[in-house]
Amino acid sequence: MAIRSMTGYGNATVESDNFTLSIEVKSLNSKFLELTLKTPRDYNDKELEIRNVVTNSLERGKVLVVIERINKGSVKPKVQINLPLFTSYYNMLKDAAEAVGAQSSEELFKLAFSLPDATTSEISTGSNEGEQQLLTQGLQLALENCNKFREDEGAVLAQKLQEYIDTIATLLNKVEEADPQRMQQTRTRIRERLQELALDTPIDNNRFEQELIYYIEKLDINEEKVRLRSHLNYFSEALQSGNGKKLGFISQEIGREINTIGSKVNDAVIQRWVVEMKEELEKIKEQSLNVM
């Protein structure tokens, strides 16, 4: 399974005789599925069903779903007055107006209408039969488009990640080529330094070799080079599985080997290559956060 990005966008438009549904799905990276819905008020009772459809399609990401219902010209709002509540509002406002000497009954009438739940507006769409199916159809289409966007972005992302891995592998090749010379220079430098310190005292070559082997082992990076090469190959294989968390774990192991190589080598040129490896690894870590 190819990798998918958590960044995505999809939209869809579906129509009935009375209205048009416009649906947009936007997603960004997140460790979990964080879903935000913006829907018409009449769809509040459909929120659970909408969430279930989205959850079944999108695994992770910070997701925003926006649904707009655009009514056609033949649709007229049906207004209902909550007469007992309106009357209560009006009488309360009238008593307050009389208490302060206000006289405008027309303004009180308008104000009472504007108070909460005094009136309700209900869209008359003729027959609501099939509206839920139309909503689900449009939502699924928008989600499919969003997933297609994620797949396309994932292909670009996979190419970038592989380029970063290839760059680290190229730098590792340079380290492997330069390492034998580094070790020989280390041997020569230690011997010359000992000769300077010993002055006229002869050096016990057997003892020197024993101490040198012990010291060289502390500077040896052969195991780190092998493990780093293995991790780079494993990362390339994991790119095919599309598991962002796995890529994150492998990148941590890559970083551990790079850091160990940097702490062991005492060579300016190799240290520069190590720094370049770390730069590429930071790009990998950042991009991996956006992989599903």
Q: Which helix (H) or strand (E) holds 88?
A: helix 83-100
Among 86-90, 109-113, 255-259, the minimum mean pLDDT is found in 109-113
Cα–chain center distance at 126: 43
Q: What is the DSSP letter of 44?
A: G
Residue 91 in this model has a pLDDT that exceeds 60: yes
Nearest of 161, 284, 165, 277 to residue 221 by alpha carbon: 277
Give the three-state DSSP class for 20. Answer: strand
pTM score, two decimals?
0.70
Q: Which residue has the higher pLDDT, 288 or 1?
A: 288
- DSSP H or E segment with residue 160: helix 131-198
Q: From 80, 79, 67, select the one nearest 19 (Cα to Cα).
A: 67
8 Å CB contact between 221 and 265: yes
pLDDT in tens, 32-47: 899 999 998 888 888 9
- Across residues 9-35, what is the average pLDDT? 92
Query: Chain centroid to CA 70: how far?
Result: 32
pLDDT the model gives residue 31: 86
Which amino acid is located at 149 in the chain?
Answer: F
Q: What pLDDT, on a 0 to 100 scale, did the predictor assign at position 3?
A: 87
Mean pLDDT for the chain overall: 85
Token digits of residue 65: 């779903």
Decide which of 239 and 243 is more confident: 239
* Res 20 pLDDT > 80: yes
Residue 278 pLDDT more than 70? yes
Instruction: Please name the residues in contact with 135: beta carbons below 8 A apart, sequence gap of 6 or more.
Output: 14, 21, 43, 46, 50, 67
- The pLDDT score that the predictor gives to residue 127 is 43
Average pLDDT over residues 266-275: 91
Distance in angstroms (rounded) separating the CA atoms of residues 43 and 132 = 10
* pLDDT band for position 125 (cuts 50, 70, 90): very low
What letter would DSSP give residue 130? T
Through-space distance between the first and last CA atoms of the chain, rounded to whole angstroms:
11
State residue 30 phi and psi, 5-degree precision: -165, 150
Tens digits of per-residue pLDDT, 131-182? 888 999 999 999 999 999 999 999 999 999 999 999 999 999 999 999 888 8
**Domains of the chain and any CATH numbers:** 8-73+128-151 (3.30.230), 76-124 (no CATH), 152-288 (no CATH)
Helical spans, DSSP H, in 199-243: 205-219, 222-238
